[in-house]
Amino acid sequence: MKNDELSTGMLVVLRHAPHGSSWLREGLDVALVGAAFGQTVSLLFLGDGVEALISGQQQGALGQKGTHPTLDMLAMYDIDTLLVDAESLAQRGLTEADLQLPVTQVSPGELPDVFSRHAPVFSF
């Protein structure tokens, strides 16, 4: 990714899997609220957070709602910058074809630039 491809504005970092905790859902809620108040919002999926983007997910083992309905709403809120850590994808044996939405992959070396170009940064 080139520097001019990065947007500025609010960055929400999603590091948790879609099931097992409420962290991912809370991060998505923060992103939607920020967008509703006119903020430019980018999402960065890191570590287990990339699992939220896998197509065809069902409810969690304890009946937790999936995040796919919320992800489908991102476009309505003009949240279209979805960044994914390429290393996190590779570690899980995933490719962009496995994901529900189009993303831009960033290498670990590009992450510091992503963080430096956004303010505020929220991590979930």
pLDDT at residue 7, as a whole number: 54
Residue 113: the pLDDT is: 95
pLDDT of residue 98: 95
Specify the CATH number for the domain of residue 26.
Answer: 3.40.1260.10
Per-residue pLDDT tens digits of the chain, which is 124 residues long = 444 444 579 999 999 988 778 899 899 999 999 999 999 999 999 999 999 999 877 665 555 566 778 898 999 999 999 999 999 999 999 999 999 999 999 999 999 999 999 999 999 9
| pLDDT given at position 2 | 47
The contacts found for 92-96 with CB under 8 angstroms, 24 or more apart, are 92/50, 92/51, 94/50, 94/54
Count Cβ neighbours within 10 Å for each residue of 63-74 and write b for 16 or more, e otherwise: eeebbbebbeeb
Q: Write out the two tokens for 98.
A: 């496995």
Domain ranges, residue 93: 3-123
**What pLDDT shows up at residue 65?**
63
Q: How many domains does the chain have?
A: 1
Predicted confidence at residue 59, as pLDDT, reads 61
pLDDT at 6: 46
- pLDDT at residue 18 in the model: 86
